[in-house]
Amino acid sequence: MTNSSPIRKTVRIGVYVLVVGLLIAGLVATSPLGDGIYQHRRFLNTHIRIRDVIATWESPPPADVDPDIWRNNCGMMTTALGNICTTVDQVSNEEMDRLYQDVAAKDAEPNSVEKVEWFWDRLAEISPYGSTYVGAWRPVWDEPTEFPMEEPKIDQ
């Protein structure tokens, strides 16, 4: 058997590919690109955790609020979260962690209009854009509309 047998060449090529792949993976993981990917993944995971907690606020609605109006307003909270906390460039991971801790603490309280108002206030504090967004959309929340306005007529 010679030094250049097909099996040895295949193994050697495989080892080279593996080493080069590990070097590239190591460079990406330790580069600003790798850190950016990590920061965005961390942000997304926290965002999902917050969204999942506020989704539980939809039910049961407070006794003094129409269930359809309450559902609509809970949907507006989810939309506001998505529009205000879009990326780690807008809201830091540290601020998202604080928001999650605050929301998780509020989750223990019964559903109420005050709880939702607190969430709007908290979103207004989270960033300059949060303040602008809440300033524009909170009046819509303060004057809730029942959706759907009318049942659609469907011809059969």
**Whether the predicted pLDDT of 118 surpasses 90:** yes
pLDDT tier, 19 (very low <50, low <70, confident <90, very high otherwise) = confident
Instruction: Please report the pLDDT score of residue 135 as a whole number.
Output: 87
19 phi/psi in degrees, rounded to 5: -65, -45
Q: Which residue has the tokens 């990326």?
A: 87
Q: How do the domains of the chain map onto residue ranges?
A: 1-30, 38-142
pLDDT tier, 115 (very low <50, low <70, confident <90, very high otherwise) = very high
Residue 83, SS3 per DSSP: helix
**Alpha-carbon span 90 to 130, nearest angstrom:** 9
Task: List all residues 6 or more positions away from 116 whose beta carbon is below 8 Å from its beta carbon.
Answer: 57, 73, 74, 77, 141
pTM: 0.71
Instruction: Please report the pLDDT score of residue 31 as a whole number.
Output: 59
**What is the average per-residue pLDDT within 8-15?**
80
pLDDT tier, 94 (very low <50, low <70, confident <90, very high otherwise) = very high
pLDDT, tens digit, for every residue of 77-92?
Answer: 999 999 999 998 899 9
Residue 114, SS3 per DSSP: helix
The amino acid that residue 52 corresponds to is D
Torsion sign (Cα): 98, 104, 109, 115: positive
Instruction: Please report the pLDDT score of residue 34 as a whole number.
Output: 63
DSSP string, 74-117: HHHHHHHHHHHS--TTTS-HHHHHHHHHHHHHHHTSPP-HHHHH
Instruction: Please report the pLDDT score of residue 91 as a whole number.
Output: 94
